[in-house]
Structure 1
Amino acid sequence: MALCWRQLLFTVLLLFCVLVDEAHFREAVVQDEPAVSGGGDGEPVPVIDCAGLCGVRCSRHSRPNRCMRACGTCCFRCKCVPPGTSGNRDICGACYTDMTTHGNRTKCP
């Protein structure tokens, strides 16, 4: 009977230690995430997954490599990729809509 209680106590303590360690690890990961400094207001801008978002954006494009290159540049500079495979460019604001190529054509897909 005493052995059973000892095993139960050991299991509970082990589980508690694992949970505390996991919580500490998650807190360390959140603190280590980089944040890009924002514009003039000093607020940090969250880091976004440009490759993943541009992959969705360019998935149905006739020239996906060119689209990915342009979208990656726009995402890096503007910190935004519009939802969907086309349109919705106004959601990302003037940075995204006003960026042009050397030929004065819109750059961002």
Structure 2
Amino acid sequence: MAISKVSIASFLLCLLLLNLAEAADQTERTRLDANLTSGKIDCDAACTARCQLASRQRLCHRACGTCCARCDCVPPGTSGNRDVCPCYATMTTHGGRLKCP
């Protein structure tokens, strides 16, 4: 009888540990999903990639950073691909020129 109580207790303990591990995993997945769906991207890295071939990299990076912060999007590549991010593509300066590189 003592063996059966020990085995039942260990079985329940294993179930409890599995439940805790699954809850921790679910919490981590929820946090990662929240980061992905929040739309926040790494503007610094995206703009560094976008402006790597620009002749005036500081100016490009500054303009790209402003556009990225407002739109949460930077088109892939070093130029073009503006259809991927309409907000980025349509932002203009006070003079009516395209703001985002």
Output the TM-score relative to the length of structure 1.
Answer: 0.60
Q: Residue in 1 aligned with 2:70?
A: 77
Give me the CA root mean square deviation.
2.9
Which residue, 61, 64, 68 being the options, matches 2:57? 64
In structure 1, give the amino acid aligned to 2:85.
Answer: C
Is 1:106–2:68 an aligned residue pair?
Answer: no
Which secondary structure does the structure 2 equivalent of 1:55 belong to? helix
Which secondary structure does the structure 1 equivalent of 2:96 belong to? coil
Output the TM-score relative to the length of structure 2.
Answer: 0.65
Q: Superposed, which structure 2 residues align to 1:1-80 within 5 Å? A: 24=24, 27=27, 31=31, 44-80=37-73
> Cα distance, 1:31 vs. partner?
3.0
Structure of higher CA gyration radius:
2
Which residue, 79, 82, 86 being the options, matches 1:89? 82
Q: Deviation per CA, 1:28-71, whole angstroms, max 9, x where unpaired?
A: 69638975xxxxxxxx5321000001000000101000000110
Which secondary structure does the structure 2 equivalent of 1:51 belong to? helix
> Which structure dedicates a bigger proportion of its chain to helix?
2
Query: Aligned pair in 2 of structure 1 residues 91, 28: CA closer, same or farther (>3 Å)?
Result: closer
Q: Percent identity?
A: 53
Highest RCO, 1 vs 2 (Cα 8 Å, sep ≥ 6)? 2
Q: Deviation per CA, 1:62-104, whole angstroms, max 9, x where unpaired?
A: 10000001101111111110111011111101x1111111211
Distance 1:88 1:60 in 2: 15
